[in-house]
Amino acid sequence: MRDPIAAGPRTDLLTHTFLAMERFGPDPTDVYFGVLLRCTGRVPTLDDVRARIGERLDRLPALTSRLTGEAEWEHDPHFDIAHHVHLAPGVPVEPVPVRRLMGTAPDHDHPLWRAWLLQPGSGDSWGLAFVVHHAVFDGTALLHALRVLFDDQEPAPVAARLPRPLAAVRALPNVFGTLRPAPDLPVMGALTGERRLDHASVALADLRAVAEATGTTVGQVHLAALSGAVREWSAAGTHVRDIPVCVPVDTRTSGERDLLGVHIGLHRAVLPTGTADPAERLRIVARRLSRRRMAAARNAARALVDDVPSRWSGAAMRRLGDRRAVALTASIFRPSSPSSVLGSAVQSVFALPWLPLGHGCFTILAVHGHRASLSVLTDTGVGATRDLSALWADEVAALRKAVGIRPALTDTAT
């Protein structure tokens, strides 16, 4: 067993991959992602937030570590919490592109994260936005770090994983699938480098009810709804083909739920966007992304990153994430966000997606309490006439209707 908190960041293939994306991308902030916690209750001061985060940082050395020239990590001897936690005047308590919050990316002389206190405007909600370089954390690690900072829950010990290099063989069919290029979508125009973020929320009970009625999972219901939304959003109507997308998978084992760092793999999944019937789309998604297949995909992705020489695994990862092979990214955060921040209840959690080099659309589903929220980050060159997140919410309702489920009676906070 090992302490999931005591160890600092590791350097591996994924570290180098995300650092290369920062180096060669048009804007270094594009490799930063995060979450917005919308809270109700007493609004803390900036000093309150800095003090709370500062007193817990000894449990999160990744947040006080900086990069050296050799892409290794070391403790920042000049760490100052005031350089990392700020106010965001004029920013609404709504998801916005990370670039709007950051302005410019932090240099590598200091830890690669930032947080902002968003004070209420006309309403009574306030927010905390937290963003981090993807070379430091993935989504699971970020949400776990926020629980360490703001909840009293102690992490469980992490069981050591045994190397399984042969498991990477199972990733080969997925990699070979990238030889078939993704179809051109009419909605995808010339990229501008500017960003737009849309979001929508639905009752989590609706997703669960559809899943229970059909013997599927919440994730499968979400991807079926996203398939219908992309079908409409792409402006190709009934002529649209099935579309391959990149689905990041959390590769942690059952004994590694509290493991920090970056532990993800990429899975190329073909969404049934060419199918008109919502219920049939769900059946196809459930078959193509079954529990068994996704478990095998996670094991293969972990072995590919951890147990295979990087000269081979790096090439495979680049192909799986290449925009020419996938139309967009569909990510899902594990439901593990903090329940409160400085005594104020967390009402909603919204993802703040990033956008890989050459891509035009990245979606992340976040779940908290009774709500499921989809955040959609697009390049402004994407010429959609309708908001993909709103179409997704409509498709959740269409799935619910297709299987004969009445709307959930729950709070309607968005």
Beta strands at 371-379 and 243-250: parallel, antiparallel or unpaired = unpaired
How many Å apart are CA 297 and CA 219, to the nearest integer? 15
How many Å apart are CA 44 and CA 149, to the nearest integer? 15
Residuewise pLDDT in 10s, the chain (414 residues): 445 454 567 788 899 999 999 998 889 999 999 999 999 999 999 999 999 999 999 999 999 999 987 678 999 999 999 999 999 988 889 999 999 999 888 899 999 999 999 987 666 789 999 999 999 999 999 999 999 999 966 666 666 677 777 777 888 888 888 888 888 887 888 899 999 999 999 999 999 999 999 999 999 999 999 999 999 998 655 467 899 999 999 999 888 888 899 999 999 999 999 999 999 999 999 999 999 999 999 999 998 888 888 888 889 899 999 999 999 999 999 888 899 999 999 999 999 999 999 999 999 999 999 999 999 999 998 887 689 999 999 999 999 999 988 876 554 445
Domain boundaries along the sequence of the chain: 13-150, 165-334+357-402
pLDDT value for 2: 47
Q: Which helix (H) or strand (E) holds 51?
A: helix 46-56
How many Å apart are CA 119 and CA 216, to the nearest integer? 40
Domain 13-150 of CATH type 3.30.1360.180? no
Q: Tokens representing 135?
A: 């070379």
DSSP secondary-structure letter at 6? Answer: T
How many Å apart are CA 81 and CA 89, to the nearest integer? 19
* Alpha helices by DSSP H, 180-270: 204-214, 218-233
pLDDT value for 144: 93
pLDDT value for 234: 85
Give the SS3 label for residue 129: strand
Give the SS3 label for residue 13: helix
How many Å apart are CA 93 and CA 48, to the nearest integer? 18
* Right CATH for 165-334+357-402 from 3.40.50.150, 3.30.559.30, 3.30.930.10, 3.90.660.10: 3.30.559.30
Give the SS3 label for residue 132: strand
Beta strands at 65-67 and 73-75: parallel, antiparallel or unpaired = antiparallel
Give the SS3 label for residue 32: strand
pLDDT value for 1: 45
Q: Is the separation of the CB atoms in 224 and 281 below 8 Å? A: yes
Using alpha carbons only, give the angle 249, 292, 334 rounded to the nearest 5 degrees. Answer: 35
- What residue type is assigned to position 120 of the chain? P
pLDDT value for 409: 57
Closest CA to 97 of 145, 38, 30, 26: 30
User: Cα torsion at 385, 391, 394, 396 (round to 10°)?
Assistant: 170
DSSP secondary-structure letter at 224? Answer: H
